[in-house]
Amino acid sequence: METVMQEKQPVLQISHLNKTLGNRQILKDVNLETYSGEVFGFLGPNGAGKTTTIKIAVGLLSLDEGDISIAGYDLRRNFEQALEKTGGIVENPEFYPYLSGYENLRIYARVHENVTEERIKEVLELVGLSLRAKEKVGRYSLGMRQRLGVAQAILHRPRLLVLDEPTNGLDPAGTKALRDILKRLAHEEGLSIVVSSHLMSEMEMMCDRVGIIVEGEIRKIQPIEEMISAAKSGYEIYVFHVSDAAKAAALLGDLPAGTVAVADADHLEVQIPGAEQEATLAKINKTILQGDVNLYTVSRKEDRKLEDVFIEMTNGQGGGQIG
Ligand SMILES: Nc1ncnc2c1ncn2[C@@H]1O[C@H](COP(=O)(O)OP(=O)(O)OP(=O)(O)O)[C@@H](O)[C@H]1O
Ligand SMILES: [Mg+2]
């Protein structure tokens, strides 16, 4: 298997997508592009509009306004060609439980032109089910069924694979297996993969780029590496163990050291911006000591998590607003 170079042409291109359901505008001017060779994470709290966007992209829901193209085919004007380049799992994939994984794929293969026996074997290999292909699907674990769903979705060699919350309900081992398969399909087979989730921690492990959607609007699209380094360089919280926290806080009042908070009589918490952190720490230490307060220890509170950054970015929204 050779590494596929990332092409410049987007595989999925969504431009100015608007969607109203009932009398509510669910999607507001959504723009995004995904490319061959990458896993794109579509991240947002419950009710943000992930499933709606995905349903439109895979042709299950009409688009009101805007344009979508897949592998260069316009979804409105060239619906069939666009969908021929798309594979997806939106709801849980359905299979005949009394047939084997292999037999299920053979039946499904008839929907498409030119899916050969070799291709069926190839996709079973790609999702790590070759050895279990002859077992009845009724005996498959949820993780195996999800992988068979991926096999089914890529049978016809689509350029784009779209999965709505594919790891829902999977245990850590099942999640990792699926994650590794998706990465391989993107990085080695050159698919453009879109995966939705409401968990930043999951996106962090699986995705090359992440787009954050909140209340139907794209807030940010960024490579995951940049998101992580931005999270780290934001600020850190340091805890100062001192003899008199109130007095130390008063001394630090004039320093441009970020927010100072007294935790208890002898602990002070200071939020220090990422830039020039050492210089600021040195200045704080000196000020405390010169002000005649004893300084016993300085320690850094645990790292800010990417999850916190996501929650800040979405203002802690989501969860409740269904309907
Ligand atoms: N048929 C419908 N009629 C009216 N509103 C709808 C309809 N389907 C979805 N919605 C609303 O559209 C919004 C976006 O829903 P969507 O399912 O796309 O969110 P989501 O990001 O996938 O959320 P989740 O993380 O819960 O899956 C929600 O507020 C939902 O209630
Ligand atoms: Mg959803």
pLDDT digits (tens, 9 = 90+) for 62-91: 988 999 999 999 999 999 999 999 999 987
Token pair 């008839």 in the structure block, residue:
110
Output the pLDDT for position 321. Answer: 38
Q: What are the structural domain ranges in the chain?
A: 12-85+158-230, 235-303
Ligand 1 centre from 216 Cα, in Å? 9
Mutational pocket test of ligand 1: of 26, 89, 202, the residue with most ligand atoms within 8 Å of the beta carbon: 26
Q: How confident is the model at residue 320 (pLDDT cuts 50, 70, 90)?
A: very low
- Reported as half-sphere exposure (CB side, CA atoms, 13 A), residue 118 has a value of 1
What is the chain's percent helix, strand, coil content, to nearest 5? 35, 30, 35
Nearest CA to ligand 1 atom 16: 49
Mutational pocket test of ligand 1: of 14, 17, 21, the residue with most ligand atoms within 8 Å of the beta carbon: 21
Ligand 2 centre from 198 Cα, in Å? 9
Q: Does residue 196 register a pLDDT over 80?
A: yes
Q: How far is CA 50 from CA 27, 32, 47, 240, in A?
A: 9, 12, 8, 43
What are the tokens at 186?
Answer: 């993107």
- Determine the atom of ligand 1 nearest the C-alpha atom of 49: 18
Residue range 12-85+158-230 in CATH 3.40.50.1970: no
Identify which ligand lies nearest to the alpha carbon of 53.
Answer: 1
Q: How far apart are CA 128 and CA 94, in angstroms?
A: 19
Q: Identify the CATH number of the domain defined by range 235-303.
A: 3.30.70.100
Ligand 1 centre from 61 Cα, in Å? 12
What are the tokens at 8?
Answer: 């410049």
Q: Is 44 in the pocket of ligand 1 (CB under 6 A)?
A: yes
User: Mind listing the pLDDT tens digit for each residue in 216-261?
Assistant: 999 999 999 888 877 766 777 889 999 999 999 888 876 655 677 7
- Angle of CA points 53, 46, 193, to nearest 5°: 45
Q: How far apart are CA 172 and CA 160, in angstroms?
A: 26
